[in-house]
Amino acid sequence: MKKIFTTINILCCISNIVLAQTPIVQRDLDINNVRATILTHGDMFWDRVNQTAGYEYPKGSGLHSNFLTALWVAGYDQNTSNLHVASQTYRQGGNDYWPGPIDNGSQIDSITSTKWDKIWKIDKADIDQFLTIIPHTVFNTHPAILDWPAKGNPYATDRFGASLSITKSMAPFVDANQDGVYNALDGDYPSIKGEQALWWVFNDQKQHTESAGEKLNLEFKAMAYACNSIPALQNSTYYSFDITNYNNAAFLQTRIGLFSCANLGYAFDDYIGVDTFRRFMYLYNGDSKDEGPSGYDSNLTKHGLAIIQSPQDSVGYKAPLGAFTFMNPTNGITGFPTSSYGINNFMRGFWKDGQPFTDACNARDIGNITSFVYTGNPIDSNQWSEKQCNNTPSTRVFLLSTSDFTFLPGETKKFTFAAINTPRSPHTYSITDIQNVADAVMMYPNGCNSSSPSILKNYNLAESLMLHPNPANHEMVLSWIESHYNDKIKSFEIVNTYGETIHTPSLYTNSNIKFNISSLANGIYILKLKTDQESTTIRFLKN
């Protein structure tokens, strides 16, 4: 097994040599206990420059709980019934994804793609400081805020530092003066999730040299984010994608998958399992010690990938998983797929030859047909797990996918997942610790910014609101993070410290309330808001 895996790494190095003329763009998300490396071609968690693992946990330890994870997408064109597939593995064959946006469906050229081969990084602390500064200038504005790749930003730069003309909606931002374009000197600033965020954009519009699959014409606006202020989230990272279909026909039976070679420290002693109720898979040690210089020794962790938002989700409804399968790092019948149909099969609960997965210990012998491997609790001898099967621990390469959805032309679907880790501790086969971490990230789908309404708890109006600038002397904007509150606010008033109503605005947009306070005397005031179910107050200072 080690020889096979080494061969895969050699192939990666060969690919790197071929592409060596083009510098590799990668950047780290590192606000909390994780250092996660992100790239611009639909893959993440590996350091492609050095051909090493890039998901370091704990940060600074030199240990890694994931080697590589990448997006897969498959669907059938409604007009032609043809299967379209985009997938990324180790890039030994090439790329299925390329940096840059799609402009009204026209073919992206190599020059544009190279310009957008960049990852923008911003900390919430820098945004908070920006909101305390008036007036804003080029010299007192943080470079990351000035360079944010939002629509119309005159200061945004491309990979080479040249001006980047952005004429369509790209990176999200708070539009302080409501003019529809981004300019930090007007008070506009990035709208991010978590306390640190990375943003980039890529597409699958060019030839698929990795999978040889037929392109889907999808654009992916991506944000990686993390939180450090909430202890339960300090060992996890999030990844959200706004995916737009620029194909001229709908895709039917569409699925999004997470391909991963996680490698929990030492790569050759791992087990996998899935919790279908919580929509996450997990990786754990098959024995009590993680050997070697790359291993966690006897102070172990568990790692997982959890689907936070699936394209089929809606308020009050959490769509089920589609499949959880694995492949062996070989070229054999149970190994890596070599065709679009093999890729699609793994996303739907079939081996690459079309044989269904079963609940046999090797998931292929005679047994009950299943789309999910090793669904049982490892400590329960009556449930199906690798531990109870006494499988040989080794490298695990797996795929977690959504269930089917229809993807209409021009439609944008949202997909978010989290990479999670348990605190290090002595070995145990119990999965309660990793389940607790999965529950925590589900509660906070936007990192530390808000709580989930549709999965674990109700919307929280107070946590969703942002008032800026505060203090102010002329105009203020009250906005909310969760779109759930669009058109939900039934009353809004400003009262003084004696409880007397001073002002009652009656008009607001779907995302904010803008109001003038220039006529108010200097002092402290209170905003009172109500929806049909909630009420809250916010204090502000007029100066």
pLDDT at 476: 84
pLDDT at 9: 39
**Cα 274 to Cα 18: distance, rounded to the nearest angstrom:** 37
Give me the percent of the chain exceeding a pLDDT of 90.
70
Q: Is the whole model's pTM more than 0.85, yes or no?
A: no
pLDDT above 90: residue 504? no
Q: Peptide bond preceding 471: is omega within 30 degrees of 0, i.e. cis?
A: yes
Q: Which H, E and C letters describe 163-187, residue by residue?
A: ECCCCCCCCCEECCCCCCCCCHHHC
pLDDT at 90: 85
Range in 80-89, 282-291, 498-507 with the lowest mean pLDDT:
498-507
Q: Provide mean pLDDT across the span 212-226.
A: 97
**Cα 55 to Cα 51: distance, rounded to the nearest angstrom:** 12
Please count the CA atoms within 13 angstroms of the CA of 338 that sit on its side-chain side.
8
Name the maximum alpha-carbon separation found in the chain: 79
Given a contact cutoff of 8 angstroms between Cβ atoms, the answer to whether 188 and 177 are in contact is yes
pLDDT at 484: 57
Read off the pLDDT band of 319 (50, 70, 90): confident
Residues pairing with 123 in the sheet = 196
pLDDT at 465: 75
The three-state secondary structure class of 13 is: helix
| pLDDT mean across residues, the chain | 88
Quick: pLDDT tens for 437-466.
999 999 999 888 765 444 433 345 665 677
If one compares 129 and 532, the residue with the highest pLDDT of the two is: 129
Read off the pLDDT band of 511 (50, 70, 90): low
Q: Give residues with Cβ within 8 angstroms of 106, minimum separation 6.
A: none
**Cα 209 to Cα 38: distance, rounded to the nearest angstrom:** 21
**Cα 488 to Cα 514: distance, rounded to the nearest angstrom:** 16
Query: What's the one-letter identity of residue 418?
Result: A
pLDDT above 50: residue 4? no
The continuous run of DSSP H or E covering 407 comes out as: strand 405-407
Ordered structural domains, the chain, with CATH: 2-97+204-246+266-443 (no CATH), 118-200 (no CATH), 461-542 (2.60.40.3080)
pLDDT at 522: 86
**Cα 45 to Cα 35: distance, rounded to the nearest angstrom:** 9
Given a contact cutoff of 8 angstroms between Cβ atoms, the answer to whether 65 and 264 are in contact is yes
pLDDT at 461: 63
Whose structure tokens read 């004696």? 498
Q: Which of 329, 454, 347, 363 is nearest to 400 (CA)?
A: 347
pLDDT at 468: 79
Given a contact cutoff of 8 angstroms between Cβ atoms, the answer to whether 414 and 307 are in contact is no
If one compares 501 and 194, the residue with the highest pLDDT of the two is: 194
pLDDT at 497: 66
pLDDT at 172: 97
**Cα 185 to Cα 183: distance, rounded to the nearest angstrom:** 5
Q: Which H, E and C letters describe 408-477, residue by residue?
A: CCCCEEEEEEEEEECCCECCCCCCHHHHHHHHHHHHCCCCCCCCCCCCCCCCCHHHHEEEECCCECCEEE
**Cα 475 to Cα 470: distance, rounded to the nearest angstrom:** 10
Range in 123-137, 256-270, 304-318 with the lowest mean pLDDT:
304-318
pLDDT above 50: residue 413? yes
Q: Peptide bond preceding 135: is omega within 30 degrees of 0, i.e. cis?
A: yes
pLDDT at 510: 60
pLDDT at 37: 96
Given a contact cutoff of 8 angstroms between Cβ atoms, the answer to whether 120 and 148 are in contact is yes
Range in 254-258, 280-284, 370-374, 496-500 with the lowest mean pLDDT:
496-500
**Cα 67 to Cα 260: distance, rounded to the nearest angstrom:** 8
**Cα 375 to Cα 324: distance, rounded to the nearest angstrom:** 9
- CB count, 10 Å around CB of 260? 26
pLDDT at 391: 97
Read off the pLDDT band of 515 (50, 70, 90): confident
Residues pairing with 398 in the sheet = 260, 326
If one compares 173 and 51, the residue with the highest pLDDT of the two is: 173
pLDDT at 450: 63
Question: CA torsion 61→62→65→69, rounded to 10°?
Answer: 130
Q: What is the DSSP letter of 8?
A: H
pLDDT at 354: 92
Distance of CA 118 to the CA centre of its chain: 17
